[in-house]
Structure 1
Amino acid sequence: MLLITAVALGILLNPLNTTMISVALSRLQEDFRLTFADVSWLISTYYLASAIGQPLMGKWSDLFGRKKVFMIGLLLVTVSSCLAPLAPSFGWLIGFRIIQAVGSSALFPSGMAIIRSQISANQAKALGVVSIFSSTSAAFGPSIGGFLLHYGDWPLIFLCNFPFIIGSFLLAWKMFPKDPKSSGSASDMDWPGVGLFSATIFMWLLFFLSIADGASLWMLAVSAALTYALYRYEFGHSKPFINVAFLKNNKNVSLIYVQFILTNMAFYSIMFGIPSYLQRVQLMDAQKAGLVMLSIAGFSVVVTPLVSRWIDRSGSRPSLLFGTIAVVAGSLLMLLIRDQAGVTTIFLVLCVLGIANGFNNLGMQTALYDYVKKAETGIASGLFMTSRFIGTILSSSLLAALFGKNITTPHLHSMAWVCAGLGVLMFALTVRMPKADASKATQ
């Protein structure tokens, strides 16, 4: 249990710092005299660095040792958390946040690989504990950030990382098994592949962000060209950074990544869209809107232990079928929300979506590991989290396209229909999911 806690305390740093900063944007605008468009790069660059860092650090953990990479990740988060409050300019603050993103990105793939290698029985329960830490930190991030801002200022958002860093470091130092002697070296890394992957992710990010003002065709063309170049280069490489041959030959893993992108696109559209709707249309204050949004986080946390036991008995597929149906049901229930709707109605609708998130989040993680060998856990976990960030970026584009400069109940209903459609696609992908090969998960 202490080993799981060590991993969980480290893993929560990325989602916690992703969402805590959202409540501090207005203060940062005042301190650095920025427009909202300027300050939004603090979020975009964090997503970008995380999307690139997850598979990169996953590969490093496979090559050089999982405990070593986990500890280095904690060190990078420590350095960034110390320096960010002292940032002399906004550019420096972005730089420190990028270091924080890279450091926290090392913790998920290396930590999950350690859990998988050390815990063979009831892995779903172990993943359930980690999932609770991760989902809770992301959901409660804005509330924690608001509390810190109320009693201090934005530097506290970085300083509050230290209890988690210290706890994770001490437990990991004691509980993690010693890494076997590494035979890997920096030359084993596919650096051209890393560069191509980074450029591809960056261009797709720019394209998605351009959708709000009208999609840029040249960005789309460049993004597609880079994607094709990455595929061709990595397919012919003996030690590729992104093993496209493996993805091509194992379509189950590829489709799990696609499904996870859709899952996060729907979830984060709701998580980011509903609070603004509650404040601008339902005229709730920030505190009340935050309390209503806790229904998603609360029910997601409550059902996760139940889901883990179900998965241990029946596998990932039944829980995903239930979770995707809940996405469709919860999205359609949003159509019941009208102008000046009762708080109880909104709360109950969001509870259904919280239950859906609990089922889908853990179900997707365990489904991935059903089709991935233990030796491939690091890079597979990194790409899994990259899929999450891609889904988050797509959710921002969706909200920009649907809400534009004005948020109304009809716009909310449009979002509900889109999320219901995403749920139907997720259900279809789950239905076609074949029975896992139990022997692969033990290799």
Structure 2
Amino acid sequence: MNARSWWLMISVGLGILLNPLNSSMVSVAIPRLQHAFQLDYTAVSWIIFSFYIASAIAQPVMGKASDLFGRKKIFLAGLIVSFVASLLAPLSANFGMLIVFRIVQSIGTSMMVAVGMAIVRIHITEKQATAISILSIFLSGAAAIGPFIGGVLTDWWDWHAIFLVNIPFVVASFVMAWRMIPGDTPPTPAASNLSVRKWLQMIDASGILLFTAGLIALLFGLLSIKSSSHASVFNIIIVLIGLALLAAFVRHELTTPSPFIPLRTFAKYPAMTRVNVEFMLVNVIFYSLFFGLPSYLQMVRHISEIHTGLYMLSLGLCSLLAAPLAGRWIDKSGPRPALIVSALLMTLGSIWLVTLNQTSPIISISLALAAFGIANGLNNVALQAALFNSSPKNMIGVASGLFSTSRYFGTILSSLIIGVVMGGQFSFEGFRVLGMILTLIAVSLVFMSRHRREAGQLQET
């Protein structure tokens, strides 16, 4: 690759890393946010929900918008939106305002993720695999070191710093992207003359509205029941409304010609569906630790933010180190052996967490995190390979989109599990219950991996 291609990759990489960086930095800042806004854990967990719900919606929508408005325009607009959100979030007078800016930040960073890979694929024609792998390092590396950066910033400058740290990345990416990303080709006449009504149909605005309203109502109702320690009539009604809206969403997606989430694809390709279910469960485990363990270390073990960030590095770094080794292994043996090993590691790690007590040495937690990190590195590569093996070639784009959606479902579900288990206050007992739940999920993944192996043997015979 020539020098211009490298600068193009760096400009895009600095932009797309903002989404995983901001999703992971906040994990260490949650106790500080609770104290700053006088909130219980259930209420403050919306700082996580809001980001992932907005990302799950914004990324596919912005991918479609780039076909109409141009990828460079969407990328630069995302940087501007992220800059404004990062600048104003620290000035939030209350938690509601902070949630609004967090959602805006999620939309801005999602705009860049939605088009970043496409920009590199279109404008870097040589060594594309190398270019894509480098962008993947920006994404996975930012997620891995996010808790450490968040811990350092929160310990030194309070929670405001986890938003302000975005500004130099945004400015550097904008200056380079403005110069390095080639201009967009003019839109086709059909795209230029697209009416608002047609545009809303193309992005499935009705489906997005049903999905968002149903998910928020369901989460609010369930978390309110746990927070108040009793199921009031109001909370039950909210839960039922959420379930009804989600049922309407499913019905709508099965009939609309341009669905937000193509549910019919899941029914048509069961092998691909199984991969997405596994990926969702893997992310439930990973992000339950990602968001639950920092709060446990700070609230129960009274460890500082900076040391919490250091301990969390064992999770992210082991994941990063395992991924390239997993790639070589999977190229030789296929995804099944790696999935079985990762499921066993997650099971052992979860059991390990359940056996901890309040005086267990921190090194024990670090070793458990290392096991989860290796498992995550194996899963990221193995499930991606399994996805390509189970998806028709003409549906790779759709399959990749569904794969990302499964990740978001897993992250949202992990936050819900933590909120329901912990309620208003993070406790050692709640953390042990969380470990038990993760053990059950990990054991189910062992059985799913075993079933995958048996299915493969049956096909071979």
- Provide TM-score, normalisation by structure 2: 0.79
Residues in 1 aligned to 2:336 and 2:130: alpha-carbon distance in whole angstroms: 16
Indicate conservation of the 8 Å contact 2:288/2:415, yes or no: yes
2:161 alignment counterpart: 156
1:320 alignment counterpart: 339
1:140 aligns with 2:134: no
Q: CA deviation at 1:356?
A: 0.8
Residues in 1 aligned to 2:242 and 2:343: alpha-carbon distance in whole angstroms: 30
Q: CA deviation at 1:293?
A: 2.3
2:459 alignment counterpart: none
Residues in 2 aligned to 1:382 and 1:241: alpha-carbon distance in whole angstroms: 10
Residues in 1 aligned to 2:93 and 2:115: alpha-carbon distance in whole angstroms: 33
Q: CA deviation at 1:377?
A: 6.3
Structure 2 SS opposite 1:245: helix
Q: CA deviation at 1:297?
A: 1.5
Q: CA deviation at 1:211?
A: 5.6
Structure 2 SS opposite 1:106: helix
1:438 alignment counterpart: none
Instruction: Find 2:452's aligned residue among 432, 437, 442.
Output: 432
Residues in 2 aligned to 1:51 and 1:291: alpha-carbon distance in whole angstroms: 29
> Which sections of structure 1, spanning at least 5 residues, go unmatched?
436-443
Residue range with higher mean Cα deviation, 60-69 or 294-303 = 60-69
Residues in 2 aligned to 1:205 and 1:71: alpha-carbon distance in whole angstroms: 33
Q: Which amino acid aligns with 1:255?
A: R
For residues 157-177 of structure 1, the C-alpha deviation after alignment (integer angstroms, 9 at most, x for no partner) is 222113322444455456656
For residues 369-418 of structure 1, the C-alpha deviation after alignment (integer angstroms, 9 at most, x for no partner) is 5555788666655543443333223223323444454633x654443332
2:105 alignment counterpart: 100
Give 1:51-62 correspondences, 5 Å limit.
51-61=56-66
Residues in 2 aligned to 1:368 and 1:116: alpha-carbon distance in whole angstroms: 20
1:111 aligns with 2:130: no
1:240 alignment counterpart: 259
Residues in 1 aligned to 2:123 and 2:390: alpha-carbon distance in whole angstroms: 18
- Provide TM-score, normalisation by structure 1: 0.81
Q: CA deviation at 1:296?
A: 0.9
Q: Which amino acid aligns with 1:354?
A: G
Do the aligned partners of residues 24 and 355 (structure 1) sit closer, same or farther apart at CA in structure 2, a change above 3 Å counting?
A: closer
1:441 alignment counterpart: none
Q: Which amino acid aligns with 2:111?
A: A
1:358 aligns with 2:377: yes
2:290 alignment counterpart: 271
Do the aligned partners of residues 379 and 86 (structure 1) sit closer, same or farther apart at CA in structure 2, a change above 3 Å counting?
A: farther
2:274 alignment counterpart: 255
Indicate conservation of the 8 Å contact 1:58/1:378, yes or no: no
Indicate conservation of the 8 Å contact 2:336/2:452, yes or no: no
Q: CA deviation at 1:38?
A: 5.2
For the aligned residue pairs, the C-alpha RMSD in angstroms reads: 3.6
Instruction: Find 1:294's aligned residue among 293, 310, 313.
Output: 313
Q: Which amino acid aligns with 1:244?
A: L
Indicate conservation of the 8 Å contact 2:15/2:170, yes or no: yes
Q: CA deviation at 1:355?
A: 0.6
Residues in 1 aligned to 2:444 and 2:274: alpha-carbon distance in whole angstroms: 11
Indicate conservation of the 8 Å contact 1:269/1:396, yes or no: yes
Instruction: Find 1:407's aligned residue among 427, 442, 458.
Output: 427
Instruction: Find 1:196's aligned residue among 170, 195, 210.
Output: 210
Indicate conservation of the 8 Å contact 2:343/2:442, yes or no: yes
Do the aligned partners of residues 25 and 224 (structure 1) sit closer, same or farther apart at CA in structure 2, a change above 3 Å counting?
A: closer
Residues in 1 aligned to 2:129 and 2:385: alpha-carbon distance in whole angstroms: 7
Q: CA deviation at 1:85?
A: 3.6
Residues in 1 aligned to 2:223 and 2:136: alpha-carbon distance in whole angstroms: 29
Structure 2 SS opposite 1:432: helix
Residues in 2 aligned to 1:20 and 1:360: alpha-carbon distance in whole angstroms: 22
Q: CA deviation at 1:300?
A: 1.2
